[in-house]
Amino acid sequence: MLVLTRKGNQSIMIGDDIEISVLEILGEKVRIGIQAPRSVPVFRKEIWVDIQRNREEEAAQVDEALNRLKTPKGP
């Protein structure tokens, strides 16, 4: 993990297209701004974890449905 120190109104660049800016520091809270192309999804981590969990559940449901289709049914 790369650790950087930034002050208010300073930024870091990720590649050529993503800029992370420190907008405001209020006690223990830091407000950041993210400029990225629309093709790059940006989520808070807790939301990203929920999305990944939902994708895994949906994939399991699809696998289960496909397995039921493959299993021959009795007379």
Query: Is the separation of the CB atoms in 60 and 52 below 8 Å?
Result: no
- What per-residue confidence (pLDDT) applies to 50? 94
Q: What are the boundaries of each domain within the chain?
A: 1-38, 43-75
Q: What is the pTM of this model?
A: 0.69
How much is the pLDDT for 33?
97
Residue 31 DSSP symbol:
E
The whole-angstrom separation of Cα 69 and Cα 75 is 15
Residue 66 pLDDT: 87
Contact 18, 40 (CB under 8 A): yes
Q: What is the pLDDT along the chain (75 residues), one digit of tens a residue?
A: 999 999 999 999 999 999 999 999 999 999 999 999 999 999 999 999 999 999 999 988 988 888 888 877 766
